Structures are given as C-alpha cells and as structure tokens.
Amino acid sequence: MASSTIPKTMTGILVEKTGGPEVLQYKTDLAVPTPKEGEILVKNEYTGINFIDTYFRTGLYPSPKPEILGREASGIVVDVGPGESYSIKKGDRVVYLGTSSYAEYTATPAAKASIVPEQISSQVAAAALLQGLTALTLVRESYAVKKGDWILVHAAAGGVGGWLCQLLRAIGARVIGTASTQAKRDLAKSLGAEFLIDYTTEDLVARVKEITGGQGVAAVFDGVGKSTFDADLELLARKGSLVSFGNASGAVPPFAIARLSAKNITLLRPTLFNYIATREEFDHYVQELFGFIIKDKLSVGIHETYPLKDVARAQIDLEARKTTGKLLLQP
C-alpha cells in the first residue's frame, strides 16, 4: 500500500480518564499516525487483549491520558519511517509489541516487530506474542526451570497460565495448576498440568504439600497477586522462587521482607519488557517462540475475537475471569 492511499483518520479506542470499562471510547475520527525514526506503520489485522490493558485503564499502572490502549497486534506494514527497520518493508506481515494497538493503524518501533512465518496465521501470531513471550521468559530467566522440578502455576487455564503449562511440560517439569472450575481444570490438564487444585474449595497449601511429598514446589508462577501471595510463601520449598508477574486479584500489599528468610525464598516481580529490552533479546525469544509453535505444535487457544467497538465487553469478560485462552480485537 502506497503512503498516498493511507487514510488520514481511523477508528480506535481512546481513554481520556481512568475508570471502569465505561471509559473505553470507540472513536471513528482519530488521526492515523505517521511513522517516526525507526518506526513502521501497521494496518492491524488482530489486536491482543491483555490484563495489563485493564491496569492502564484503571490507573493501577499510571500512564499519561488521553491514550490508546493495547500492547500487541499483527498486521500488514503500510509505511516505513526513516532509520533502521531491521529488513522489514511495506507489504510484510508482522507481529509486534508496542503501544496504541487498539486501533486500525499503529506506528510502532521496528525493533519490536517480527515478520510472521507463513506457517503461522495472523490470528495465532497476535494471540501468541505477549503471553507466549511472557511465559517463555519466565521459565528461562525468572526461574530457570529444570526437568523434574515441581512448579505451581496459578490460573493455569488462563492466557499466560496455559502457555506456562505447555512450556513446562516440554521442559519436563512436574506441573501443579490452580483453576476455579472443572472446565478450566480439564483445559489446564490437557495443556500439561499433572495435578489440578480447585482453589475455591481446597486447602491450597495442604494440597501442594501432599502432592510434593511435603517438600513444596521449586517455583510458583503467580499472575493472581494479592489473594495468593501469602499461601505461595507457605507452599514453596526451601530456596524456592516466587515469581509474581500479575495482579488479577489486586496488587500485593507491602510486607516484611524478613519473611523471605525463613526458607531463603527468592522473590521476583519481573516484567517482560526488561527481558526483551534489546533487539537481540527480542528476536531471540520471538524465534524460539515461533519454533515452539511450529515444531512442538503448541496450542494457541483463542477465547473469542471481538469487534473493536465491543472492547468494553471483552475487558469485562477478562476481568470476570470468564475466559480461557486469548482475547482478540479485530479493527
């Protein structure tokens, strides 16, 4: 598509103040951005919805307003700005991590974009990128999982949770998953969780100790936050790692750091973007992720693809924990 055929306005979701889903405004007259130095302009095909989007909407994570939400999408490159583009050109089908992807068009850094292999659809690419990279960097860097490790995954049927189960199974870990319904537990089991715990009715700490023969787990991957933090500290093995990467139940409140010394626990609060800060890191993990999808036939579960104008319904579904797998928007 030549630059002259790119429209001047587009549809998108604008947030002008923090709040509930009602602050998500569907606009039809937003200005199409112009790619700056090192950027590409992408006509989005599919946009991923992530819990972090709700954090920016509510103000849990501060960000300047007004803003267009969204951290990832797949689409076609329609313009390339000056500077380094990492061999990406007009017409390429790409997937990217950036900002402002709840829109028809997004100008995004080429350094955080990759050409999608022909074996992977645009829908799967958008569904896989942020959650897949999050899970992959968690098991490679936050805690380097080894074959035979006991690992607990909270919300094991959710977006990142499902990826963790599959990757952990591929590595050879022994996976315990938590989920609130039988359907979610069945899904987590199919994705690689060996044992499932219903955290709404079962004693989480007691069950983990029972399953692991009293030793506890080597690591907990926790995207839930506030409601699971105290139990996590109890069920970890000596020298265990608590990797807290999300706040689905709210932010973990301040706590006495001396609590970690009882078992020499390692506590991390990682973000994906600090593991993929350089082009080399980003490309390394994207290529590894594509390899898992193509060669290991990892399942990329998609809960629903929503029209862009239905973004409020999508975020309500996500926050209500009604979903399994990835939520996508189609501009």
Q: Is 214 left (phi over 0), alpha (psi -120 to 50) or beta?
A: left
Q: Which residues contact 258 (CB under 8 A, 6 or more apart)?
A: none
Per CATH, 3-129+276-330 and 147-269 having the same topology is answered no
Q: Which fold has domain 147-269?
A: Rossmann fold (3.40.50)
Q: Where are the domains of the chain?
A: 3-129+276-330, 147-269
Q: What DSSP line would sit under 179-214, residue for residue? A: -SSHHHHHHHHHHT-SEEE-TTTS-HHHHHHHHTTT
Minimum mean pLDDT among 105-109, 157-161, 235-239, 274-278: which range? 157-161
pTM of the model: 0.88
Whether the CB-CB separation of 178 and 248 falls below 8 Å is answered with no
pLDDT digits (tens, 9 = 90+) for 94-141: 999 999 999 999 999 999 999 999 999 999 999 999 999 999 999 999
How would residue 4 be classed by pLDDT, with cut points 50, 70 and 90? low
**pLDDT for 2:** 45
Question: Which two three-digit tokens encode residue 231?
Answer: 């139990």
Q: Are strands 174-178 and 195-197 parallel, antiparallel or unpaired?
A: parallel
User: C-alpha dihedral over 99, 103, 106, 112, to 10 degrees?
Assistant: 40
CATH number of 3-129+276-330: 3.90.180.10
Residue 323 has pLDDT above 90, yes or no: no
